[in-house]
Amino acid sequence: MKFDFTEEQIMVRDTARDFAVRELDPIAAKLDEECTYPADKIEMLAEMGFLGVAIPEENGGGGMDYVSYVLAMEEISRACAGTGVIMSVNNSLVCHPLFKFGTDEQKVEFLEPLAAGEKLGCFGLTEPGAGSDVSSMKTTAVLDGDEWVLNGEKNFITNAPNAQIAIIFANTDKGAGNRGITAFVVPMDMKGVSCGPKEDKMGIRASHSSSIFMEDVRIPASNRLGDLNKGFKVAMITLDAGRIGIASQALGIGRAALEEAIEFAKERQAFGGPISRLQAIQFKLADMAMRLDAARLLTLNAAYLKDVGKPYSKESAMCKVYAAEASTYISHQALQIHGGYGYTKEYGVERHYRDSRITEIYEGTSEIQRIVIAASLLR
């Protein structure tokens, strides 16, 4: 891995940083409090090419690389982790599989508007009875003439209430387990598609999640994404890329918590001076900074491997679990440093504490990442 960034990568990072400071910092706490989807900010991110960062320009994207995507995601999530995940899902769980597995026609019809941010996407894999255990999904797709007919329910789908396009996984060969799943592109305005109420979540409240119900939804046969019965691999390959995005989100949350803890420690007076001079606080800050830097190196390494076309499945799982756990650790310690003040909404650390928690759960729990890493070591 190269340790210095290109001029273009630095420009992307600085653009994202300026945007985050100017547009997100002033409203992030309110978005969280009121559970508001930041539609105008998403439009601005789209104009900057941030909804399809690593998708080529000819396919509607920003034409940048995955390292740039990591840098941008960290900056956006540092200010507002909810906005970060809206961006991450569209980039890596929707645009990425459409770019990798889509036909030329699908790229024109679906990828271009998604990567340009004219439309928003969501990723329908999880079901009430199939979270970590993907192959237990119950949603079905049956071919009827030149249409697929989909029936089933997806839940906890990030962006669903705001999305125009969903990538949906369904059983096309019941009983074949992970070898009987196929991916489809489903416009959310198709007859028979509906969303449940928005989930009232603990954190990342600017991003909206809900169930998706499908009742005899008829989509053209040409909306199949990738090969028949190869959807499990489409999902796994997509999640390999997605987990780098979530690791970057975790970096942003961790950095916000660390920066606020440093500022507070320098100001808060106790035992005759600022608490930053106490080793109890210094040791915490040192551990927080070490874990954040280690997480960033793992994340950039996974992105770099992806950019140069090398395998990165294990590295993506490693950066996801490490950055997520670093982020929950850092926000926990930041709250501790703030003491009682940290437990109030007057300070940002309680939001970072809540936001960090999801990074250990979605796009594969920390336990699932360890399974992926161990499987790779033992192969």
The residue ranges that bind ligand CAA (CB under 6 A) are 89, 93, 123, 125-126, 132, 134-135, 158, 178, 232-233, 236-237, 239-240, 313, 362-364, 368, 371-372, 375
Handedness of CA 204, 47, 363, 243 (dihedral sign): negative
Task: Match 């759960």 to its residue by tokens.
Answer: 361
| Amino acid in position 214 | M
Minimum separation from the CB atom of position 129 to ligand CAA (A) = 13
DSSP of 308-369, one letter per residue?
A: TT---HHHHHHHHHHHHHHHHHHHHHHHHHHGGGGGSTTSTHHHHHHHHHHTTTTTS-HHHH
Minimum separation from the CB atom of position 112 to ligand CAA (A) = 23
Q: Tell me whether residue 303 or residue 368 sits nearer to ligand CAA (CB atom).
A: 368
Q: Tell me whether residue 313 or residue 356 sits nearer to ligand CAA (CB atom).
A: 313
Q: Tell me whether residue 177 or residue 273 sits nearer to ligand CAA (CB atom).
A: 177
Does the annotation mark 363 as catalytic? yes
Minimum separation from the CB atom of position 55 to ligand CAA (A) = 18
8 Å CB contact between 67 and 242: no
Query: Closest by alpha carbon to 355, among 93, 166, 79?
Result: 79
Longest dimension (CA), the chain: 80
Alpha helices in 197-278 (DSSP H): 231-267
Beta strand pairing call for 121-124 and 165-171? parallel
Q: Tell me whether residue 177 or residue 220 sits nearer to ligand CAA (CB atom).
A: 177
DSSP of 62-123, one letter per residue?
A: ----HHHHHHHHHHHHHH-HHHHHHHHIIIIIIIHHHHHH--HHHIIIIIHHHHTTSS-EEE
Minimum separation from the CB atom of position 219 to ligand CAA (A) = 21
Minimum separation from the CB atom of position 33 to ligand CAA (A) = 22
Residue nearest to ligand CAA (CB): 364
Q: Tell me whether residue 236 or residue 297 sits nearer to ligand CAA (CB atom).
A: 236
Q: Which of 57, 267, 363, 367 is catalytic?
A: 363
Catalytic residues: 363
